[in-house]
Amino acid sequence: MDSISTSVARVGSRSRLTARVAALPGTDKALLALLFGAALLALVLGLVGGFVTALARAGALAFFPDDAYRLLTLHGVSVFFYWLYLIQAVLMLVLAAAENGRGLALRPLAWTGATLMLAGFGASEWISATGTPLLYDGSPELAADDPRSVGFFALGYLLLSAGLVASAVSGIATVLQPRLRGEASEFTSIGFALFAWAGFLVVSAIAATNAFLPGLLWSLGAGPFPADHGTEWHILFHNLHYLPLMATVLVWYVLSEQLTGVKSIHGARLSKIVFAAYLVFVPPTSLYHMFLEPNLSESVRVIGSLLSLFVSVPTLAAFAIIVSSLEASARAHGATGFFGWMRGLPWRNPAMANMGWAVVNMMLGITFAFVLIQEKLAPMLSDTFFVPGYFHFFAVGVLTQTFLAALMVILPALGGGTLWRPELLRCMPALVTIGLLVFGAAGIAAGFMGVPRRVFDIGYDGIAPAAWPVLMALVGIGATIFAIALSVSVYGVVRTMLSLRPSLEQAPVVDWRTGSRGVGAAPAWTGPLSVAALVAAMYVFTIVAFQLIQSSPIIAIGGGHGH
């Protein structure tokens, strides 16, 4: 019924990407391995911190308040800054080097960038473990009597930012090399995405500097107390959301070609427009993070909410491009059945499983993100557990699983080893998603009920609703499931990285490459139906939220109106 007339790729054959990674100069390989290792270390630290935090919130572990908030700080700093930024920096470098085909340009700058980022990593982890707990946003007002903590915390992020700039400049110079050599007159879609992404990394570094340089200067006695940190943080925070999403979509492009041979059937131009759209939509959609700020006027609130409706445009467009390209290519190779074509994807390959489940998690995450961006709903949900409840679909389900998928493809080529137990690794993404579903469902329900985002003891002398601890216990169960499954994936990636024994046996891929003739003639409904389901889910949960507000026993006006 849904058989596809394509063979599995020849055993031992290398794709363009893996062949180019394998052929990189030794010094580049050493730099990339160092950064991959550091990124994985950050992920492990963040994972441990997050798991312990979840258990503490579930009531299974007890800590003194300062220790508990230090753990939460370590979790956030490790995952949101060092795992996500380090992995983005190194993926940008390795993909740029592969685009170039001859390794990195401005190599000393790339090494300088790595050194700065690692110095920042060390500083941030040390002060997070020993200083006043500042959580990952490092608000100076929490340590007005402890400039040392504020200063070192800010220094860590500033070093990371400086390293990102140096890495990005090296990445930009690298993707320009084929054009400088006269081998190409324009970028490939991946090349352009890398170029824009690297620019975006620099902007993120500017945003981090804007947010944290005042804190460092104050700690040194060279500037006033950074009273506006909250506002400056929101700008960085918005970049922190968008940048890894753009990276994720780029990795999906790369992996789709790697795993199926399929490139966009809509041409490089549309892909370039979509990647550019990430940058076009970033600034106008940033206000929704501030809906609870008391000094935001009502008109800005309304405009910010309307603009936020566009926040998913590039991601959904990229999703539609990738899914329609895959479906059309599969059908051109004889696939039939409404969704049956998907069975032809190489699901036995752990990279494919991670990417596929990442897409499912993206749909879940976007659904609830769109509940939060409504300015009338934010006063019910912001600062509650709704936020971690939904963003773990993104942070763990989408971003982390996508980047692990990239590692599962790149590391064997980089180190010459073998992917560790692919049959086991391919099962983990489904388990991660099950854990996230439990965590997310309980967390989002807790958020609707007002469970605070950052409180360990939610008893409040017995006044709090009886459902709160039950929901937090479910959060702990969900976190345990996905933490264990994710740990297996991370362990597998680390073993792969350390593996020195090459193997002819490679994780399976398929070859759906085809000429343009006949591609797209058959309907490709998977993308549109998925998006329709997404919009329907958005409607349902938005209506639920409005109904909850309307049925609550207060009538309120003024979402934090300030004067």
Residues of this chain, 314-353, that bind other proteins according to CB under 8 A: 314, 316-318, 320-321, 324, 328
- From 19-27, 347-355, 444-452, 496-504, give the range in contact with other proteins by CB under 8 A: 444-452
Cα(510)–Cα(257) distance, integer angstroms: 10
Residues in region 179-198 near other proteins by CB under 8 A: 179-182, 185-187, 192, 195-196
From 306, 441, 477, 484, residue interacting with other proteins (rule: CB under 8 A)? 306
Residues in region 4-43 near other proteins by CB under 8 A: none
From 27, 269, 336, 424, residue interacting with other proteins (rule: CB under 8 A)? 269
- From 9-17, 118-126, 308-316, 491-499, give the range in contact with other proteins by CB under 8 A: 308-316
From 27, 141, 220, 336, residue interacting with other proteins (rule: CB under 8 A)? 141
Q: Nearer Cβ to other proteins, position 370 or 403?
A: 370
Which residues have CB under 8 Å from 550's CB, separation 6+? none
What's the min distance (Å) between Cβ of 361 and other proteins?
16
Query: Does an H or E element contain 498, and which?
Result: helix 467-498
Cα(260)–Cα(346) distance, integer angstroms: 8
From 107, 348, 376, 421, residue interacting with other proteins (rule: CB under 8 A)? 376
Residues 401 and 16: beta-carbon distance below 8 Å: no
Q: Nearer Cβ to other proteins, position 25 or 528?
A: 528
Counting contacts by CB under 8 A, is residue 384 touching other proteins? Answer: yes
Report the chain's C-alpha Rg in angstroms: 23
**Token digits for 385?**
């557990």
Cα(151)–Cα(142) distance, integer angstroms: 13
Residues in region 243-262 near other proteins by CB under 8 A: none
Q: Nearer Cβ to other proteins, position 267 or 502?
A: 267
Only one residue has tokens 């509650």, namely 384
Q: Nearer Cβ to other proteins, position 267 or 334?
A: 267
From 110, 265, 396, 438, residue interacting with other proteins (rule: CB under 8 A)? 265
Residues 482 and 431: beta-carbon distance below 8 Å: yes
Q: Nearer Cβ to other proteins, position 51 or 69?
A: 69
Q: Nearer Cβ to other proteins, position 163 or 527?
A: 527
What's the min distance (Å) between Cβ of 224 and other proteins?
14
Cα(507)–Cα(11) distance, integer angstroms: 9
Cα(99)–Cα(102) distance, integer angstroms: 8
From 8, 30, 280, 424, residue interacting with other proteins (rule: CB under 8 A)? 280
What's the min distance (Å) between Cβ of 3 and other proteins?
21
Counting contacts by CB under 8 A, is residue 128 touching other proteins? Answer: no
Q: What are the contacts of 466-473 at 24+ separation with CB within 8 A? A: 469/59, 471/385, 471/442, 471/443, 471/445, 471/446, 472/57, 472/58, 472/59, 472/385, 472/442, 472/446, 473/58, 473/59
Question: Which amino acid makes up residue 205?
Answer: A
